[in-house]
Amino acid sequence: MSATKRALVTGLTGQDGAYLAQLLLSKGYEVHGLVRRSASADVIDARLRWLGIATEIHFHDGNLTDLSSLLRVMGDARPDEVYNLAAQSFVKSSWQQPILTGNVTALGAGNMLEAVRLAAPKARYYQASSSEMYGLIQEPMQSEKTPFYPRSPYAVAKLYAHWMTVNYRESFGLHASSGILCNHESPLRGIEFVTRKITDGVARIKLGLQEKLALGNLDASRDWGHARDYVRAMWLMLQQDKADDYVIATGRTSSIRDFCKLAFGHVGLNYENHVYVDPRFLRPAEVEVLLGDPTKARERLGWTFECSLEQMVAEMVDADLARLSMK
């Protein structure tokens, strides 16, 4: 019987990290997570607890901005696979905290790659890249060959991390892959993200806890999938003989307005009676539309998404209704 595979996941307590940990555990992995010390330590594993897996994870104190801690954790965890999902990942905050975003999202990935090169060179590495790197889109449908044009400090930072991954693959022979993921959501999405803000708002309005929902640009369009499907793509990338970069997407784009229609419609409400645009939520430089081409992932990885937008929105609204009903 082969030895148990060991995986180290940064960003383990976030949406993607939690679903990825669940997937890896189901495949018999020993899962290790890098955890940043925080004043909110009592709630930091809330997503893992929601999935019922919090007690199955091996936690390690560390920080992407501290290379010495990453080297120590690599030595302790001895990973076969490393998934770097940690980042300052809220686009709006990246304009308010551009230096922090650069230090964590960009240089943090550089630290991770250096730690792998020095302490775990045989490990396979996954970098969470982002469709936000396409920004002011240069092609109607974005593939691995589409030029990047980032439109936020977050996207710029992600682009640095992406090209560093390519560089370490080509310079040092690391098995290092990047997933250029289009937007992916779930009931575990942070409340600060527009999709979860919508489903939480729908639940509150349906339960009579509020009447209106303030949003930004309703016409911005995104290619939305379910995080549970997208973490499966991450795992598939690290099972390939050769490392590479892949766009992960559904190939369908919908506007925030469309998302509102689905979410409010799920509980029998008309979004037009409740949603209004608040200029405070408009971005300094908007990314108007993103639409990913998943052809390469389908042909090389055998990956396809399983959860439709309609199913995902219904699941998110139902989860928020259940959460709020328990309070």
Angle at which helix 107-119 crosses helix 153-172, to 10 degrees, equals: 20
CATH number of the structural domain spanning residue 239: 3.40.50.720
Residue 145 lies in a domain: yes
For position 212, what pLDDT does the model report?
A: 97
Residues 128 and 212 in one domain: no
Whether 161 and 266 map to the same domain: the answer is no
Number of CB atoms found within 10 A of residue 326's CB: 6
Q: Are residues 276 and 205 in the same domain?
A: yes
pLDDT tops 70 at residue 201: yes
CATH number for the domain that contains residue 212: 3.90.25.10
Residue length, the chain?
Answer: 327
Report if residue 163 sits inside a domain. yes
**Bridge partners, residue 185, by sequence:** 226
- Span 143-184, pLDDT tens digits: 999 999 999 999 999 999 999 999 999 999 999 999 999 999
User: For residues 120 and 171, is the Cβ–Cβ distance under 8 A?
Assistant: no
- Residues 24 and 43 placed together within one structural domain of the fold: yes
All residues at 6 or more sequence positions from 170 whose CB lies less than 8 Å from its CB, including other chains: none
> For residue 1, is it within any domain?
no
In a domain, 234, yes or no: yes
**Number of domains the chain is built from:** 2
- Label each residue of the chain as H, E or C: CCCCCEEEEECCCCHHHHHHHHHHHHCCCEEEEEECCCCCCCCCCHHHHHCCCHHHCEEEECCCCCHHHHHHHHHHHCCCEEEECCCCCCHHHHHHCHHHHHHHHHHHHHHHHHHHHHHCCCCEEEEEEEHHHHCCCCCCCECCCCCCCCCCHHHHHHHHHHHHHHHHHHHHCCEEEEEEECCEECCCCCCCCHHHHHHHHHHHHHCCCCCCEEECCCCCEECCEEHHHHHHHHHHHCCCCCCCEEEECCCCCEEHHHHHHHHHHHCCCCHHHCEEECHHHCCCCCCCECCECCHHHHHHHCCCCCCCHHHHHHHHHHHHHHHHHHC
Of 310, 279, 285, 128, nearest to 215 by C-alpha is 279
pLDDT digits (tens, 9 = 90+) for 69-126: 999 999 999 999 999 999 876 667 777 899 999 999 999 999 999 999 999 999 999 9
Q: Is residue 301 part of a domain?
A: no
284 and 160 both lie in a single domain: no
Structural domain contains residue 59: yes
20 and 147 housed in the same domain: yes
Residue 42 pLDDT: 59
Residue 102 and residue 18 share a domain: yes
Domain identity same for 197 and 121: no
Higher pLDDT, 285 or 18: 18
Containing structural domain, residue 315: 190-222+253-290+308-326
Looking at the structure, tell me whether residues 61 and 130 fall in a common domain: yes
- Average of pLDDT values for 236-246? 98
Residues 116 and 47 in one domain: yes
pLDDT at 39 over 60: no
Report angle CA 129, 148, 133 to the nearest 5 degrees.
35
pTM: 0.95
Sequence-ordered list of residues with C-beta below 8 angstroms from that of 195, at least 6 positions apart, any chain: 183, 185, 189, 224, 259, 316
Q: Is residue 35 part of a domain?
A: yes
Same domain, 199 and 53: no
Residues 263 and 318 in one domain: yes
Within a domain: 14: yes
